[in-house]
Structure 1
């Protein structure tokens, strides 16, 4: 655990206080103190990346939670073909990221993509989903929802199937409607599963990289610039390892704050 987790993080924290230069295959570390962290507050690209990441994470996770819970609820009540529907709903999460990027880039192509063809059949003008600043982030969110809804579906389905049946039998005897069962029995009993799934997916959504890299490359402009892609550019494109490390540490700190706030909110609810 120390070698795989703690040591790399400590190295990342230390790197954030140095300016690293490469010459003739050798690295030179120059101590700069908190200069990189001070520069973060003046970096408009970092601010745009944080905002886009927050919008992406909240939008994608909300869509995944709602769709995943709805599919799990339907599948748990299915009497026929349950195994078939489980297999169908799980398929997207099994597809490699590189394949998803290529597939959706073709589907969303404004000239020959399947979505553009459907728009033309309906008499509408095709939209350049990935090329317009107003729609690019929404398109990436849509792809992420399609990709990771099965993950939420599996967790919710496992939670629904573990709920006690006697509570529902008692509600049926008392004449409770389907809506009353959902709001007064299912959702309260599922709250721990919902909270854990939401936090887990939110943390993973903050680390999104492959879909942005494959679909838009952070563009157009800064419309889909997210923190993971910005850190990648600082490290590998601009060769600013120290500044990229400081950016990464700042993001880790923000994620820890988010987890602490979620834990505090959960304790208040339980109390």
Structure 2
């Protein structure tokens, strides 16, 4: 017996209402706020047209932070992919205690970013941290990990790689476990070695999973702010400041809500366009590889 059409619509209605409440309404409200002068000194949402967007175009701090995040996210996600894939390959094989290794590799991901950043802040402490202590034992000079621009970026990337490589590992291991056995049996019959099997069988078969994993991590990396807040507070200066943290400063700390709305919408559009282009390029490369 077919369910009447009106009852089918009722099943969809709760999900539609939830979608409107948690996504569409905040987005529309942010668009309205971005065209206003709403801030702590002017609680009224007076319409100012595109004034906030004109100001944003000359905001070098915002654009520098966006470019910085693109480079940082690209670098960390690439490292996470290589390490995660490598660890997944090790556990995929019949190594001793592989169930234990699976659990241990996931421990960093189980910790919240704020707690993880606080732990690493102690590890990178200039005078009390174990990293500089180890460098001293090796006869090397201590590094100002959190107070110099270059080392601070390295420290931030280290924390990101440490925490989110397990996520990449989990996705890649799931992909490896779902691969068919026939291509590997054929490669063994042909006398292919380990490297040739990986290059011509494993990696091509894992390409769809690889693309999905990289895109998911890029989306998450584009929202980087909590780790920056705890680890470096965007410093030294603005050397590690991400757009998310800058939005927090302008919209919440300085309470320039209208301007913060314009920044957030612009950043959202930039990320959607960038990730769409990256996904298309990866899909195209995958198609070309599959055709060849």
- TM category (shorter chain) comes to over 0.9
The 2-side partners of 1:263 and 1:96 are apart by 28
Structure 1 consecutive aligned stretches of length 4 or more whose deviation exceeds 6 Å: none
Quick one: which of 35, 40, 46 aligns to 2:56? 40
Which residue of structure 2 aligns with residue 20 of structure 1? 38
Which residue of structure 2 aligns with residue 187 of structure 1? 203
Judge which range, 254-263 or 133-142, deviates more: 254-263
The offset of 1:266, in angstroms, is: 4.2
Which residue of structure 2 aligns with residue 154 of structure 1? 170
Which residue of structure 1 aligns with residue 21 of structure 2? 3
The offset of 1:251, in angstroms, is: 0.8
The 2-side partners of 1:236 and 1:116 are apart by 35
Which residue of structure 1 aligns with residue 145 of structure 2? 129
Taking structure 2 as the reference length, the TM-score comes to: 0.89
**Contact 2:39-2:258 within 8 A present in 1 as well:** no
Quick one: which of 170, 179, 187 aligns to 1:163? 179
| SS of match in other structure, 1:64 | helix
User: Quick check: which one's strand share is greater?
Assistant: 1
**Contact 1:18-1:32 within 8 A present in 2 as well:** yes
**Which structure 2 residue ranges, 5 or more long, are not aligned?**
1-18
1:18-97 to structure 2, matched below 5 A, reads 18-22=36-40, 27-97=43-113
The 1-side partners of 2:211 and 2:27 are apart by 27
**Which structure 1 residue ranges, 5 or more long, are not aligned?**
none
The 2-side partners of 1:266 and 1:57 are apart by 16
- 1:103-147 CA distance string (max 9 Å, x none): 101110110111011001100011011110121112101110000
The 2-side partners of 1:21 and 1:189 are apart by 53
**Contact 2:40-2:256 within 8 A present in 1 as well:** no
The two structures, once aligned, show a CA RMSD in angstroms of 1.3
The offset of 1:222, in angstroms, is: 1.1
- 1:195-242 CA distance string (max 9 Å, x none): 011111011101001110001000001100110000000111111001
The offset of 1:37, in angstroms, is: 1.0
The 2-side partners of 1:114 and 1:236 are apart by 35
**Contact 1:119-1:125 within 8 A present in 2 as well:** yes
| SS of match in other structure, 2:44 | strand
**Contact 1:53-1:226 within 8 A present in 2 as well:** yes
Judge which range, 189-198 or 94-103, deviates more: 94-103
- 1:70-102 CA distance string (max 9 Å, x none): 000111013421110001100000012222122
The offset of 1:267, in angstroms, is: 4.5
